[in-house]
Amino acid sequence: MEEKKVAIVGMGLLGTSLAKALMLHAGYRVLAWARREETRQWVRDNSAAHCVYDELDAVLENCDIAVLCMPVDAAIKMFPVCAAKLPPHAVVTDIGSVKLDICRAAEEFPSMRFIGSHPMAGTEKSGCEAAFAGLYNNADIFIVPPENADENDVELCRNMWLAAGAARVERITACEHDELVADTSHVLHLLASAMTLSILEAETPENQRRHFAGCATGFRDTTRIASSNPAMWRGIMESNAASVLAALDRFEVQYKRFRATIEDGDFDRFEALFSRGKLLRGAWLGYKKPRPARLVLCGIKHCGKSVTGKALAQLLPAKFVDSDDALFDLYRQRNPESTVSSVREIYRTLGEDGFRRLEGEVLSSLAASPGAMVVALGGGALSNKYVTRDILEKLGEIVWIDVDDAVAWERVRAGGIPPFLAAAADPEAEFIRSNAARRDVFQNYAKLKIVPGAGDFPRDNALRILAALENLS
């Protein structure tokens, strides 16, 4: 890979952390500029960049990518000099928390190759001294290109963020971005500050002291971001006021639901709402945790592996593969004249051993395929002698979806009795017997198990799997 020269313009927490992260990557040379000489000297003293420039023009003239690491209004003021001094091939990006204003401002400089960025990372601290190379590890990054963006420019930005440690880089429009972060970030800072005021403001010093004494780790954890820079957040709220107000409306709906349960004495409903919040937060923790890129769902027939797997793949995101569908595709590819129309017919055609051989080939091929993946296994795949532990380890972490026999049997009956049960004198009894044997295998292989609740939707079970991942070592 040809070395890319990245100019970090603004060496605060985010800019210096990006510089430190890219310094660890052989494909990047980091050039730094900051307005204050004290900051530039700190960067030199702490080896936070390969080269530190005193002049803005000089750092821009020597880069392939310029990253404007400053508030949106300050970044916009940099556009004229960027347009004048950057080499024709160089790309400009930023780290701003709102995107509509900066993207509109960039349109005024058509010669400037601007690709908006927003890393979903940070702390309540500020300044180069608070920076660390791992700030962007496992982070989500939104990139906001203009409609006519050169795809090579988009890829250049994407690769830079991945090199800095990001787990996912998602393309999004400016409007979508600002509406999203109003919900996920901006309102949180407002609420943290509002809670701090409601709890710690008091009429007398004595009452205030008691509130200080009464606040412990719950208060600290909930209000941590109330320590963020007020001037910066004033600018963000001002730029994104309409979306923030809409997000506050959505928060108010949930707040009123909780309040109503207390007013009505409906604590069963309160517990259900609280449980849902706990599940969603657990799923978010599982999503954010550096995790296996691949998950394998097992369980008895009709336990919901495929529908749950599709929902899980959308949440991660990852490619979804139903191993039975992949088996069917491979069989038809090798037998183009065949008239078989289902996996059941393939089973009848090939017999048990032939079917398991083909299943083993499918899973071996999937194990060798790169990229994030969710695989739903056929019910007998883990008992297949042609599917080795090595194949399963390469496929991913195995999750067992455990449903009651009676629930699964009703689904089997609705879909038609499968071949392996058709010859049994009592298909239901044989189904239950085979499930008992398979459960021993699932227990042996699976690192995680979830038990779907009555009436749960596939996405509920996908969320349970994500929440369980948070505790996976």
The predicted structure's pLDDT at residue 410: 85
Q: What's the pLDDT tens digit per position in 191-214? A: 999 999 999 999 999 999 999 999
Q: Is the dihedral angle over the CA atoms 66, 71, 74, 76 positive or is it negative?
A: positive
Residue with the bigger pLDDT between 431 and 281: it is: 281
The predicted structure's pLDDT at residue 224: 95
Q: State yes or no: pLDDT of 454 exceeds 80.
A: no
DSSP letter, residue 426: S
- Distance between CA 107 and CA 114 in Å, rounded? 9
Q: What's the pLDDT tens digit per position in 17-35? A: 999 999 999 999 999 999 9
**In angstroms, how far is the first alpha carbon of the chain from the final one?**
34
418: confidence class by pLDDT, cuts 50, 70, 90: confident
The predicted structure's pLDDT at residue 473: 66
In order, the DSSP letters of 13-56 are HHHHHHHHHHHT-TTEEEEEE-SSHHHHHHHHHTT-SSEEES-H
Q: What's the pLDDT tens digit per position in 357-395? A: 999 999 999 999 998 999 999 989 999 999 999 999 999
416: confidence class by pLDDT, cuts 50, 70, 90: confident
Amino acid at 432: I
Residue 202 CA: distances (Å) to CA of 209, 218, 421, 426? 9, 19, 72, 74
4-9 β-sheet, strand order: 51-53, 28-33, 4-9, 65-68, 91-94, 113-114
The predicted structure's pLDDT at residue 109: 97
Chain centroid to CA 366: 23
The predicted structure's pLDDT at residue 201: 95
Share of the chain above pLDDT 70, in %: 99
**Cα dihedral: 7, 12, 15, 20 (round 10):** 100
Q: Give strand pairing partners of 4.
A: 28
422: confidence class by pLDDT, cuts 50, 70, 90: confident
The predicted structure's pLDDT at residue 1: 60
Mean pLDDT for all residues in the chain: 94
Domains of the chain, with CATH numbers?
4-172 (3.40.50.720), 178-265 (1.10.3660.10), 286-469 (3.40.50.300)
Q: State yes or no: pLDDT of 462 exceeds 90.
A: yes
322: confidence class by pLDDT, cuts 50, 70, 90: very high
- Distance between CA 276 and CA 267 in Å, rounded? 14
- Count CA atoms within 13 Å of residue 78 on its CB side: 27
Cis ω for the linkage preceding 317 (within 30 of 0): yes
Residue 165 CA: distances (Å) to CA of 31, 127, 170, 310? 19, 20, 14, 27
Residue with the bigger pLDDT between 238 and 413: it is: 238
CB atoms inside a 10 Å sphere around CB 113: 26
Report the pLDDT averaged over residues 215-230: 95
44: confidence class by pLDDT, cuts 50, 70, 90: very high
